[in-house]
Amino acid sequence: MLTGVDWFNNRRLLEPIGNIPPAEAEERYYTLLDEQKTAT
């Protein structure tokens, strides 16, 4: 069961977001938000 959750969140690749795992996309999103806050 937990391996399925791990795969779903960290290993599957999603084409609409650039063939990267959802966890990586989320990390990039929050990194960009932090960079925008410091640039303002």
Distance in angstroms between the alpha carbons of the first and the last residue of the chain:
43
Structure tokens at 36: 């925008």
The model's pTM: 0.74
Region of 15 (left: φ > 0; alpha: ψ -120 to 50; beta: rest) is alpha
Domains in the chain: how many in total? 1
DSSP-derived letter for residue 18 is: T
Mean pLDDT of the chain: 92
Angle, vertex CA 2, rays to CA 18 and CA 24, nearest 5: 20
Q: Kindly indicate the confidence band of residue 40, based on its pLDDT and cuts at 50, 70 and 90.
A: confident
What mean pLDDT is predicted for residues 30-35? 96
Q: Kindly indicate the confidence band of residue 1, based on its pLDDT and cuts at 50, 70 and 90.
A: confident
What mean pLDDT is predicted for residues 3-28? 93
